[in-house]
Structure formats: structure tokens, C-alpha cells
């Protein structure tokens, strides 16, 4: 079982971080167990455009789209918890309606996101098509089991009180929370070296 905390994801704030562009432009990151990259893109209604090597190339393609499309890159990732797919959508802070329910049917899916303006950041945990826990500000949680992750939320360094949350690196903490639920470590090396299946999602 992973023991990830926010400290393990402090690298996302670095000036050389491969995730810095996503933080600045807005993104959604999802991890799902047992669903292939091609199947994930199909469920999102995205149009495949080919393959690319690493997040730098994914960012280049996003810039070339001039904001007409949301670019999604999906790849298979290893985990002790089984076969997982990671998808990163650049320039968007929410999936199409019904996507997460369909994606998580019979499995687990975890997603977090941020917009590119005044930070609006969301975390979602779905199990078997059901929203189990969702929050923006962790003190206010909804879903069928809104309190089930409370101990993990505290362990990763996020906290449940306004004072704790305001002191935390909330973005690094939700990366760690996603790892606790999936077993997948989203390392800088993973983002820069993996091959992505790329697709466009119209706005």
C-alpha cells in the first residue's frame, strides 16, 4: 500500500516541472483501472489524432490547436493495484456529462482538475459508476460516502479544517490522495517519457 503525501508531489510547483503548463492552462487528470486508453478516449467522445512521445510533445500539439479543441493524452501506467490508464486533458476543467459514470462502470476512477483562472480545483472518486466522494474545499464533501476518505485526506497533508487546508499545498495533496486510491505514482519521469494516445475533444 502506498504511503504518498503532499511532500512527494512538491515537484509539480518547480519552475522546471513538466506539469507546470497544465497548472497554468487548466487540466483534468484521471486514473482508471482496467480501461484501455483507446476505450477511455472513445467514452469521452474524443477524436483520435495519433501518438506522441512525452508531455512536451503533447503541450506542443495543444498550442497548435489554438484553443479550438481540448487535447487529451492517454497512456497505460503500471501499478501494484492492476492495469491503469492515465488521461490528461489540457485546457479543460471538467469531462463531458456522464463520462465519469460510464468510465467507472465496474471499476474505480479518480480524477482531479483545475481551471486556468482564479483556481477552482476539484477531486472526484467514482466506484462502479457511482460518485463516492467529491470536493473542492475538502471540508465540504459530497457523494454517496463523503466521509470515507477523511483519514486519507488528513494523512496526505490536506486536512479537514479551514486552518489545515489553508496551510496545505492542496494540489500536491490531491495528487497524493489519488495515488493512495490507485497505487499509481504520477512522477515527472512518467509524464515526460510515456507514449500518449492523443485525441481532440471539441469544446
Ordered by start, the domain boundaries in the chain are 6-202
First to last CA, the chain: 38
Q: Which residues are CB-neighbours of 173 under 8 A, at least 6 positions away?
A: 5, 6, 9, 153, 156, 157, 158
Query: What pLDDT score does 117 carry?
Result: 63
Query: What pLDDT score does 142 carry?
Result: 98
Task: Give the separation between CA 19 and CA 21, rounded to whole angstroms.
Answer: 6
Determine what percent of the chain falls in helix, strand and coil, rounding each to the nearest 5.
35, 30, 35
pLDDT along the chain (203 residues), means of 10: 93 94 92 97 93 94 73 90 92 86 98 81 96 96 98 96 93 96 96 95 73
Q: pTM for the whole thing?
A: 0.94
Burial (0-12, 13-18, 19+ Cβ within 10 Å), 91: buried
Residue owning grid cell 467522445:
45
Task: Give the separation between CA 89 and CA 106, rounded to whole angstroms.
Answer: 23
Q: Could you tell me which of 102, 78, 97 has the C-alpha nearest to residue 185? A: 78
Question: Which of the 8 DSSP states describes residue 81?
Answer: T
Query: What pLDDT score does 68 carry?
Result: 60
Largest CA distance in the chain: 46
Amino acid at each position: 500500500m502506498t504511503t504518498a503525501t503532499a511532500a512527494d508531489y512538491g515537484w509539480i510547483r518547480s519552475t522546471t516541472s513538466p506539469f507546470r503548463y497544465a497548472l497554468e492552462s487548466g487540466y483534468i487528470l484521471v486514473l482508471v483501472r482496467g480501461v484501455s486508453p483507446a476505450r477511455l478516449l472513445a467514452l469521452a467522445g474524443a477524436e483520435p489524432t495519433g501518438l506522441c512521445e512525452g508531455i512536451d510533445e503533447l503541450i506542443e500539439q495543444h498550442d497548435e490547436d489554438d484553443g479550438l479543441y481540448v487535447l487529451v493524452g492517454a497512456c497505460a501506467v503500471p501499478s501494484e493495484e492492476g492495469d491503469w490508464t492515465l488521461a490528461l486533458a489540457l485546457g479543460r476543467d471538467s469531462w463531458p456529462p456522464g463520462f465519469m459514470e460510464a468510465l467507472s462502470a465496474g471499476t474505480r476512477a479518480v480524477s482531479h482538475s483545475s481551471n486556468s483562472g482564479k483556481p477552482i480545483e476539484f477531486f472526484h472518486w467514482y466506484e462502479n459508476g457511482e460518485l463516492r466522494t467529491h470536493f473542492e474545499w475538502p471540508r465540504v464533501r459530497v457523494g454517496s460516502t463523503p466521509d470515507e476518505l477523511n483519514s486519507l485526506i488528513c494523512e496526505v497533508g490536506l486536512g479537514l479544517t479551514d486552518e489545515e487546508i489553508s496551510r496545505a499545498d492542496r494540489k500536491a495533496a490531491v495528487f497524493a490522495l489519488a495515488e493512495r486510491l490507485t497505487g499509481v505514482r504520477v512522477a515527472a519521469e512518467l509524464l515526460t517519457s510515456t507514449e500518449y494516445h492523443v485525441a481532440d475533444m471539441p469544446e
